[in-house]
Chains A and B, each alone.
Chain A
Amino acid sequence: MGKRNKVLYQVLVLLTLAAVLFVTACSSGNKEGGSASSASPSGSPASSASDTASKTPDKKVKLRFAAYNQDTPAIKQDLANFAEAHPNIEVEVMNFPNDLNEYYKALDVAIAGNETIDVILMQKDTAGKKATQGILTDLDSIAQKDNNFDIKANYGSVMDGAKTNGKYYYIPYNIDFDVLYYNKDMFDANGITAYPDENTTLKQLADNAKKLTTGEGANKVYGFVWGYATYNSLLRLIENEGWQWLKEDGTPNLEDPRVKEVFATFKDLFDSGAVPSIANMQLEKMNNRVVFAQKHAAMIIRNWWTPVQWNTLRYDDKLFWQNGPDFKFEATHLPRFNDQDKPKLQFVQPGWGYGVSSKSKYPAEAWEFIKFMTATRYEVSDAITVIPAYTKISDEKFATIYNYYEKKDGTIIKDAYGPEVAAQHKKIKDEIVPTISQFQIRPIDVGIQNAIMDVIEREATEYFTGKIDIDDFIKKIQAEAVKVAKK
């Protein structure tokens, strides 16, 4: 019996050994990611104050760059260009997985767990939040040491919206803005001579939308398709004109008459069939860019990137436009909310950008990297794929955003649209008046804004399915928002 027991124990030991060997084979002994952030349990080292180390140009410095989706060939090329220009700085890309929300979640956990990070990729709201929490270094002081680099002159009036407590904490590499696209042929066919432009009001757009709606079922043409499948996104139209989420006393501002008007306008449009309902857009995962290109929408509002996605859809997926666009379309400014409002206003925000972690040991090098990734890389590359915040980009470079496309099979299209599309977009970009430059916009805590937006999302279904009327709806969302805005 004893002997057999011994055999059993030997077998067990062998099994465990086999498992261990298997584990080593699988993980190929790669533990660098974890141990780079130091195995000490007491947390991160205090942020170093010494700038001397970063001033010696020959010392090799390693920056850890928190970002996601950096695997595209274009970005790899950019990183290579940076390495060439700055041989003493090595950039390690911490590739967080996935899409936007997942990236932020994982990033928050990493920061909470004290991982070493030097440069962080993020959006403006996140930057603001992290700045107030002391996670980011202010860039004004670093830029000053860099020959008094003027951030606002280099990155434009959009930077007015990028400050937190009067200082800059991140630099955007692109800006995002919405555009109204309309099908000129449809307007002509319906005898509407007044094409949409920067003076069009929301009411005029709604009236046109109703006139332009035709057909049923598979032949249906919507007069207008909104670009964002959430109810609270409708508020963007009044945000552009200076509406704010909170009143001066800090309570939610949903009782403002403009809120009621914008929701009522859209409900009217949904009910008359001129616009697909938000619920349908969610259920059907509608992409208004596709709908427009396939001539099932007379007008759409979506951001400037729309013609770029059309390139993917027509060249790689071959969904439409086998012989080029088969109708005349134009891009113009968003409508004004009413005829007292100034035209061309948009709550343009700086988009994605980079910030420096307050715990970084190499702020000067991190700043060099940020400067490169927001400005120099666009000057250096053949074609660009975003609209940079950087103000000194040439017209020709700008046009490559829309006209230059690399197909999946490697062939390159150099003139996808001709000159008009790019010119129209550049005009819009140059003419846009950022709302933040016209009104005193009070900062709102991201958490509270999320909470109010969630309230609107959940309660709006009841209004848009006709269960409650507009006044009850407004009362309800105001009451709920007040509850969640208290912290």
Chain B
Amino acid sequence: MAIKLNRGLISIMMWAIAIMMILPFFWMLLSSFKPSGEVFTYPVQWLPKRWTLDGYQALFDSKYNFVKFYWNTFCVAFMTIVGVVIVGSLTAYAYAKIKFVGREVVFILLIATMAIPFQVIMIPKFIILRYFGLLDTLTSQWIGAFLNPVTGIFLLRQFFKSIHDDIIESAKIDGCTHLRILWRIVVPMSKPVLFTVILIYFVSAWNNYEMALLYLRSLDKYVVSIAVKMFSAERTLNHSATMAASTISIVPLSLLLIIGQRYLIAGLTAGAVKG
């Protein structure tokens, strides 16, 4: 009884907070159905006075093919994740479980790079990308995270480190190489954290704006984050199109989250270490 009461109380509080959290999304969704001039009115309007699909139509008329932009964004996000998972797992595992000379020092240096402000990187990165002919390509958007997913490496390393060494040692005794241990044992154990890392990088790749702004030029390489800005110039103002584009963006992000819920449920550590 006491537990149920607690549950009820906490549920109410959490749902009350949730209402606050969902307000912007609601406003955005409803605004995508308004004509552009109605979006930013004061007092803040929730329901459209005139329901219209103008916002969505603007996204798909021949001038701006948002289908292409979504596809580009998806490609960037996908490649980012491939890199993060592969390079991230390899690197994190090494820092967590392989004893090599200078491991701690190199790791600290790696983490230190998280501290570098983007303004420092902006222009030099432009110069490098230009040197390699990668300007105005989608590759420029994911190559950085692919090779150096430092946040992911950090998080994965924390997780991997908390896996008991005994598991690793017994596998080694059985004759497994580190690669095999990583692939066959550690990764399956780490589904929740891998999913979290995938989620983090998917969102960041999807919403990344600065990089797209600086390194992409031609229209057919645009990603959603900057394509959306096309509707904010004074002469081509279309606020509802911006809201519509953002609403559509939420769909894959939320889908990922909902599907991944499965991996967040019930820890899996298959009782590997007894006692």
Residues of chain B within 8 A of A97, CB atoms compared: 212-213, 216, 222, 226-227, 229-230
Would you call A487 an interface residue if the criterion is a C-beta within 8 Å of the partner chain's C-beta atoms? no
Please, which residue of chain B has its CB at the minimum distance from the CB of A43? Answer: B127
Would you call A13 an interface residue if the criterion is a C-beta within 8 Å of the partner chain's C-beta atoms? no
In the bound assembly, the distance between CA atoms of A410 and B180 in angstroms comes to: 63
Please, which residue of chain A has its CB at the minimum distance from the CB of B175? Answer: A1
- Interface set, chain A 162-191, CB cutoff 8 A to B: none
CB-CB under 8 A for A34 and B129, given A109-B214, A317-B37: yes
CB-CB under 8 A for A19 and B82, given A30-B221, A94-B217: yes
Are A285 and B35 in contact, with the CB atoms below 8 A?
A: no
In the bound assembly, the distance between CA atoms of A339 and B179 in angstroms comes to: 85
Are B219 and A71 in contact, with the CB atoms below 8 A?
A: yes
Are A31 and B134 in contact, with the CB atoms below 8 A?
A: yes
Would you call B262 an interface residue if the criterion is a C-beta within 8 Å of the partner chain's C-beta atoms? no
Residues of chain B within 8 A of A115, CB atoms compared: 130, 135
Would you call B195 an interface residue if the criterion is a C-beta within 8 Å of the partner chain's C-beta atoms? no
CB-CB under 8 A for A290 and B213, given A4-B180, A15-B86: no
- Taking the closest CB of chain A, its distance from the CB of B75, in whole angstroms, is 4
Are A8 and B218 in contact, with the CB atoms below 8 A?
A: no
- Picked from A26, A68, A100, A290, the residue with its CB within 8 Å of the CB of B138 is A26
- Chain A positions 267 through 299: 1 when the CB is less than 8 Å from some CB of chain B, otherwise 0: 000000000000000001111001000000000
- Taking the closest CB of chain B, its distance from the CB of A233, in whole angstroms, is 15
- Taking the closest CB of chain B, its distance from the CB of A7, in whole angstroms, is 10
Would you call B122 an interface residue if the criterion is a C-beta within 8 Å of the partner chain's C-beta atoms? yes
Are B37 and A290 in contact, with the CB atoms below 8 A?
A: yes
Q: Which of B38, B123, B135 has most chain A Cβ within 10 Å?
A: B135
Which of B91-99, B147-155, B231-239 has 4 or more CB atoms under 8 Å from chain A? Answer: B231-239
- Interface set, chain A 303-334, CB cutoff 8 A to B: 305, 312-313, 316-319
- Picked from B123, B183, B217, B220, the residue with its CB within 8 Å of the CB of A96 is B217
- Interface set, chain B 202-260, CB cutoff 8 A to A: 212-214, 216-222, 226-227, 229-230, 232-237
In the bound assembly, the distance between CA atoms of A106 and B130 in angstroms comes to: 14
Are A33 and B79 in contact, with the CB atoms below 8 A?
A: no
- Taking the closest CB of chain A, its distance from the CB of B139, in whole angstroms, is 6
Please, which residue of chain B has its CB at the minimum distance from the CB of A283? Answer: B42
Would you call B78 an interface residue if the criterion is a C-beta within 8 Å of the partner chain's C-beta atoms? yes
CB-CB under 8 A for A69 and B135, given A8-B180, A97-B226, A284-B42: no
- Taking the closest CB of chain A, its distance from the CB of B172, in whole angstroms, is 12
Would you call B107 an interface residue if the criterion is a C-beta within 8 Å of the partner chain's C-beta atoms? no
- Picked from A5, A23, A31, A69, the residue with its CB within 8 Å of the CB of B79 is A23
In the bound assembly, the distance between CA atoms of A316 and B79 in angstroms comes to: 40
- Interface set, chain B 36-57, CB cutoff 8 A to A: 36-38, 40-42, 50, 54
Would you call A102 an interface residue if the criterion is a C-beta within 8 Å of the partner chain's C-beta atoms? yes
Are A23 and B219 in contact, with the CB atoms below 8 A?
A: no
- Picked from A9, A72, A95, the residue with its CB within 8 Å of the CB of B218 is A95
Would you call A472 an interface residue if the criterion is a C-beta within 8 Å of the partner chain's C-beta atoms? no
Would you call B158 an interface residue if the criterion is a C-beta within 8 Å of the partner chain's C-beta atoms? no
Please, which residue of chain A has its CB at the minimum distance from the CB of B222? Answer: A97
- Interface set, chain A 134-187, CB cutoff 8 A to B: none
Please, which residue of chain B has its CB at the minimum distance from the CB of A76? Answer: B63
- Taking the closest CB of chain B, its distance from the CB of A176, in whole angstroms, is 11
Would you call A105 an interface residue if the criterion is a C-beta within 8 Å of the partner chain's C-beta atoms? yes
Residues of chain B within 8 A of A30, CB atoms compared: 136-137, 218, 220-221
Would you call B263 an interface residue if the criterion is a C-beta within 8 Å of the partner chain's C-beta atoms? no
Q: Which of B37, B132, B229 has most chain A Cβ within 10 Å?
A: B37
Would you call A112 an interface residue if the criterion is a C-beta within 8 Å of the partner chain's C-beta atoms? yes
Are B230 and A69 in contact, with the CB atoms below 8 A?
A: yes
Would you call A37 an interface residue if the criterion is a C-beta within 8 Å of the partner chain's C-beta atoms? yes
- Taking the closest CB of chain A, its distance from the CB of B252, in whole angstroms, is 16
- Chain A positions 34 through 53: 1 when the CB is less than 8 Å from some CB of chain B, otherwise 0: 11010101000000000000
Please, which residue of chain B has its CB at the minimum distance from the CB of A41? Answer: B131
- Taking the closest CB of chain B, its distance from the CB of A87, in whole angstroms, is 24
Are B135 and A109 in contact, with the CB atoms below 8 A?
A: no
- Picked from A1, A8, A71, A100, the residue with its CB within 8 Å of the CB of B183 is A8
CB-CB under 8 A for A285 and B139, given A95-B218, A115-B130: no
- Taking the closest CB of chain B, its distance from the CB of A161, in whole angstroms, is 22
- Interface set, chain A 47-79, CB cutoff 8 A to B: 68-69, 71-73
Are B131 and A285 in contact, with the CB atoms below 8 A?
A: no
CB-CB under 8 A for A109 and B122, given A317-B37, A317-B38: yes
- Taking the closest CB of chain B, its distance from the CB of A117, in whole angstroms, is 11
A binding-site residues for B, Cβ under 8 Å: 1, 4-5, 8-9, 15, 19, 22-23, 26-27, 30-35, 37, 39, 41, 68-69, 71-73, 94-100, 102, 105-106, 109-110, 112-115, 284-287, 290, 305, 312-313, 316-319, 385, 408
The 9 closest A-B pairs by CB, nearest first: A33-B136, A284-B42, A34-B135, A26-B75, A317-B37, A317-B35, A98-B229, A285-B40, A97-B226
Given pairs A15-B86, A27-B137, 9 additional interface contacts (CB within 8 A): A5-B177, A27-B75, A27-B138, A33-B137, A94-B217, A99-B232, A106-B213, A312-B237, A408-B54
